[in-house]
Chain A
């Protein structure tokens, strides 16, 4: 892999963000709204329920982590959609770049976009609701890595669809995460799901990540075994995502959809 080419692809997106204040605002806006919304909802629950003393903390931490996953996936898709919308697709694919370099550039740049949105929101939650995601401690780093890996994987799968089927696949890009959210057990424990659905949910890394987050925040217990399991599952999905991307690219070359792809 050529680092200079990966840097060039990333630079294209950095220039795009840097050159547009509304774009930066858009990146920050949605995570912040999410924090406000969930912060007030969970505060209301705390006032009317004695179930958890730390309801606000748990729900808001879950909201921040879920948004991290959501943003990393959407960032990935958005960067690819930008190429389609700007009709730059052909230029990109005739440049001497390997697919692995495109994947690497999108993966590294997505973190940049994700953090622009999420860091302000995470810090805003501290004075507003007295909730700090950083209370999770060192396991937070591993949870974020796992979420990022899975978010990028979902991004890769949607991007594969865009390569293969063109812009008509765009709607799937927006819907992909909402489809998995109920199974991810983000705001509730896995026991809430029916037995058969629990088996399916365990195949996703999300359940292990959010269960672990609740373990740390409620019981102050850290299970690195669970975290490693989540990382391992995410990694398997990531490899699967890469394979699908390569297959989609070959499919697109066969169907001739890489040329003149645009809005």
Chain B
């Protein structure tokens, strides 16, 4: 699926959270959304998920406006994972996956749940309550939920935040493998620059609600004369609007 964001803005009273941003994500590619805390990443993702009404602008998914009567149809082709939201804690992993498979209108629920369990190694704690799992296990379950409907467009908000390096690597590797096998466009918001370098075809940098730079990781590193994406991020984050 191709995602086009056109002149998107969001104001909360007098605060401008997102200021006229435009970008595109090509079908099957991964775009990294970078920026310091409070730069408007979450608000932008919220608008792209249909949770926040934009003040101005359009979000087109395969040419169809998200905020139209086709919203439900588009949402069934999308999904989202974030460590900041959770699945019902008192339900078992299996129950949660079943409920979400039904909500997303998955046809062969049992088969799809089994596939996700197999792929993400969930078998050991399938009958355990989600609230009783470790962060790493919860993260894998959240990823399973976000892929249960075989989405064509996936939003990942810091998918490996607070994970140990081993689990973090497992998640990154899984996303890479999944993308090779399936048609999937990804928008990844992350503060982990190595993760961004590994997974993203292109990145956009946001600051104070605006896109201040974009390109491939290598292009950005070269352009700013730095050694790594992390240094480039720091330069942009600490600059005082000279990049504007």
Contact = CB atoms under 8 A, between A and B. Distances in A.
A250 interface: yes
B47 to A, nearest CB: 9
B225 interface: no
B100 A16 contact: no
A94 B75 contact: yes
Chain B interface helix/strand/loop/mixed: mixed
Chain A interface helix/strand/loop/mixed: helix
- What is the interface residue range for chain B against chain A? 35 or more
A15 B92 CA distance: 9
A255 B104 CA distance: 26
Given A87-B85, A88-B88, A256-B46, A11 B99 contact: yes
In this complex, the member of A96, A97, A256, A258 whose beta carbon has the largest number of chain B beta carbons within 10 angstroms is A96
- What is the interface residue range for chain A against chain B? 35 or more
A187 B49 CA distance: 49
A109 B78 CA distance: 27
A86 B175 CA distance: 26
Contacts of B49: 90, 94, 259
B152 interface: no
Given A253-B53, A256-B51, 19 more contacts: A5-B103, A5-B105, A8-B103, A9-B99, A86-B88, A90-B51, A91-B80, A91-B145, A94-B75, A94-B78, A98-B72, A250-B53, A253-B52, A256-B10, A256-B12, A258-B51, A258-B52, A259-B46, A262-B85
12 contacts: A4-B102, A5-B105, A8-B103, A15-B92, A16-B88, A86-B86, A86-B89, A86-B131, A91-B145, A94-B51, A256-B17, A259-B51
